């Protein structure tokens, strides 16, 4: 899947977004459909449709995503009490945009992620 996705348009600043961080590997911006007081998406600048399509050469990108998440959590004031990072992979997990992305959520107690089986 190589079609231009909405996140690519945000990365290239072709459409408006509240970008809170950007470097040569990743971009982070506020989710417009927020699920918590702080809800930021961290995406690789390279189009990787799903987690299953990450290659060995993408290892540095994934590491950068994690480091950026911790930096943003501190800057947003949610690091001390805690936050959640979520990566959905494909339809059954709820992935809606097929450009790998990590959700950074915090700012309130988030409760249990999953219910009973």
The per-residue pLDDT of the chain, averaged, comes to 93
pLDDT of residue 5: 82
- Tens digit of each residue's pLDDT, the chain (117 residues): 434 689 999 999 999 999 999 999 999 999 999 999 999 999 999 999 999 999 999 999 999 999 999 999 999 999 999 999 999 999 999 999 999 999 999 999 998 876 556
Residues in the chain, total: 117
Does residue 16 sit in helix, strand or coil?
Answer: coil
Q: What is the pLDDT of residue 100?
A: 95
Considering Cα of 30, then 35, then 37, then 38, what sign does the dihedral take? Answer: negative
Name the CATH architecture for the domain at 6-106. Answer: 2-Layer Sandwich (3.30)
For the residues of 29-96, what is the DSSP string, one character each? EE-TT-SSSEEEEEEESS---SGGG--GGGHHHHHHHHHHHHHHHHHHT-TTT-EEEE---SGGGT--
Spatial separation of the C-alpha atoms in residues 51 and 89, rounded to whole Å: 6
Residue 103 is among the residues annotated as catalytic for this protein? no
Domain boundaries of the chain, sorted by first residue: 6-106
Give the active site residue among 12, 99, 101, 103.
101
- Give, for 112, the enclosing helix (H) or strand (E): none
Spatial contact of 4 and 15, defined as CB atoms under 8 Å apart: no
Token code pair at residue 43: 């995406």
Helix (H) or strand (E) holding 11: helix 6-11
Residue 2's pLDDT is 39
């Amino acid at each position: 899947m190589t079609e231009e996705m909405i996140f690519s348009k945000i990365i290239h600043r072709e459409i408006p977004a509240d970008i809170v961080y950007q470097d040569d590997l990743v971009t982070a911006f506020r989710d417009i459909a927020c699920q918590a007081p702080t809800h930021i998406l961290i995406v690789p600048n390279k189009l990787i449709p799903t987690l299953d399509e990450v290659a060995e050469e993408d290892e540095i990108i994934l590491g950068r995503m994690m480091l950026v998440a911790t930096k943003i959590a501190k800057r947003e004031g949610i690091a001390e009490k805690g936050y959640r990072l979520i990566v959905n992979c494909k339809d059954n997990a709820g992935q809606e945009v097929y450009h790998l992305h990590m959700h950074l959520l915090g700012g309130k107690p988030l409760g249990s992620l999953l219910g009973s089986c």
